[in-house]
């Protein structure tokens, strides 16, 4: 390092390094060069001996260059080339209706609305929310699988916060009788895969357990290598939920393995895409199977005792029961300000209330007041947002306090007609209304859904859990 510093100071490149002087950085390029060469591949065009070969920008990704005479060869192996799509990729399969009108273009930021316009929006919100119970039931739970991790003295605040959330989600999965053998857990927005990891630990030696971890970006620090090897199979699928067709994944092709959809802090639009992926795209693909008698099919599938019991009950009453390949859904909600009307599953619910794309857009933006309304001063706001950026880097599956929000949503830039506390309440109402559309959607698709607080707001301001079971398998104990 000293030699390198010295050579730069004396105006010469380090031995074995590129001789190209980077004007912007006021130093020589530090790339290692091939034997006998003076310049690295990127700067070879500047070298006299390479002048006969021209380097051009790669058409797939202009961030790097390539020899013009080797372009054809390079395009076949360039990392930015379009990879062949897997069988389970079907363009926009979970996106909703194609002909849907999007958000009107003339919509302005909330900060540009007049006080009268804002008051009218809030009136519409209060009218639409009438009769909705704005206080959800508390279902703060834990699970012995996380006992040791939760009590580890090495934990910082951030680690404890995430462990409490994972423990409560796990406790809720168990309460819904979804934690058992012979099923497939699909974790949406899996990130490092920690939620599936704890489900796996809780299941101990349960047989025939499959995990599918859905994440659209490559993720660092995955816990995929830390799972038990026996009886459980982990499969990571890199895809946007919008294009995911679950019944094209080999293990789910037959629909004999009940699916449990799970997620921790699934950002706005991703929740809607995941719900449609499960209850429309996947469950609907097996509707033809419903013509076959349930008892016979379940006997063939050798699934759980409780499902056999349901089959008997169905036969006794001579009611044709539907076999639902989705056994349950447990998703911790997050970031309603990142929803998208085009993909929202509750459009019918909004329309029935006389609301449309424009109202949804503003309610979605105002939902952020629920998690940023406690900022008192710009200085405090700065420290909060800085803290959250650090938290997000530590565990990228949570975006509370609006790591992604633009300044137009912050409390400071709005007409001063509302107190911080009022804004917070309005934000919660917006979240509740958006979630209520999801509840109605699930009810119409044959599920018994519920919303509950699953952690204390001091642990996370994004503390609402959406759960759903197929209607025919619900019982008072589970839904109450």
Tokens of 29: 């390029």
- pLDDT tens digits along 355-372: 999 999 999 999 999 887
- pLDDT given at position 99: 58
- pLDDT given at position 412: 44
- pLDDT given at position 45: 67
- pLDDT tens digits along 388-414: 333 333 444 455 444 444 434 444 445
* Residue numbers in the chain where pLDDT is lower than 50: 5-6, 50, 291-320, 374-397, 400-413, 474-480
- pLDDT given at position 262: 97
- pLDDT given at position 42: 83
- pLDDT given at position 395: 46
pTM, whole model, 2 decimals? 0.75
């Amino acid at each position: 390092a000293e030699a390198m510093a010295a050579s730069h100071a004396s105006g010469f490149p380090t031995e074995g390094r590129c001789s190209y002087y980077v004007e912007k950085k006021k130093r020589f390029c530090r790339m290692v060069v091939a034997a006998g060469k003076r310049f690295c591949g990127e700067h070879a065009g500047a070298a006299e001996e390479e002048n006969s070969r021209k380097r051009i920008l790669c058409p797939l990704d202009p961030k790097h260059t390539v020899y013009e005479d080797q372009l054809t060869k390079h395009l076949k192996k360039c990392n930015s080339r379009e990879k062949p799509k897997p069988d389970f990729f079907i363009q926009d399969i979970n996106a909703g209706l194609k002909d849907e009108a999007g958000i009107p273009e003339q919509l302005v930021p909330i900060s540009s609305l007049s006080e009268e316009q804002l008051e009218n929006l809030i009136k519409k919100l209060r009218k639409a929310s009438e009769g909705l119970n704005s206080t959800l039931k508390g279902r703060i739970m834990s699970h012995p699988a996380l006992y040791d991790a939760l009590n580890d003295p090495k934990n910082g605040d951030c680690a404890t916060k995430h462990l409490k959330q994972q423990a409560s989600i796990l406790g809720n999965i168990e309460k819904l009788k979804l934690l058992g053998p012979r099923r497939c857990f699909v974790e949406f927005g899996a990130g490092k895969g920690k939620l599936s990891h704890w489900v796996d630990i809780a299941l101990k030696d349960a047989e025939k357990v499959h995990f599918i971890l859905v994440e659209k970006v490559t993720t660092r620090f995955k816990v995929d290598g830390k799972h038990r090897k026996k009886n459980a199979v982990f499969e990571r699928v890199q895809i946007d939920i919008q294009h995911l067709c679950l019944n094209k994944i080999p293990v789910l092709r037959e629909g004999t393995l009940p699916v449990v959809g799970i997620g921790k802090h699934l950002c706005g639009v991703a929740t809607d895409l995941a719900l449609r992926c499960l209850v429309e795209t996947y469950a609907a693909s097996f509707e033809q199977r419903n013509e076959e008698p349930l008892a016979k099919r379940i006997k063939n599938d050798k699934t759980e005792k409780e499902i056999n019991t349901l089959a008997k009950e169905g036969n006794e009453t001579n009611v044709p029961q539907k076999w639902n390949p989705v056994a349950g859904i447990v998703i911790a909600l997050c970031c309603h300000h990142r929803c998208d009307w085009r993909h929202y599953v509750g459009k019918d619910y909004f329309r029935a209330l006389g609301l449309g794309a424009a109202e949804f857009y503003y309610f979605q933006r105002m939902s952020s007041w629920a998690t940023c309304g406690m900022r008192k001063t710009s200085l405090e706001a700065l420290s909060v947002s800085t803290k959250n950026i650090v938290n997000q880097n530590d565990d990228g599956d949570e975006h509370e306090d609006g790591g992604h929000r633009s300044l137009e949503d912050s409390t400071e830039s709005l007409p001063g007609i509302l107190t911080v506390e009022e804004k917070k309440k309005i934000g919660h109402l917006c979240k509740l209304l958006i979630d209520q559309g999801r509840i109605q959607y699930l009810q119409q698709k044959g599920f018994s859904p519920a919303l509950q607080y699953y952690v204390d707001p001091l642990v996370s301001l994004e503390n609402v859990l959406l759960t759903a079971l197929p209607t025919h398998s619900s019982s008072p104990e589970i839904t109450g």
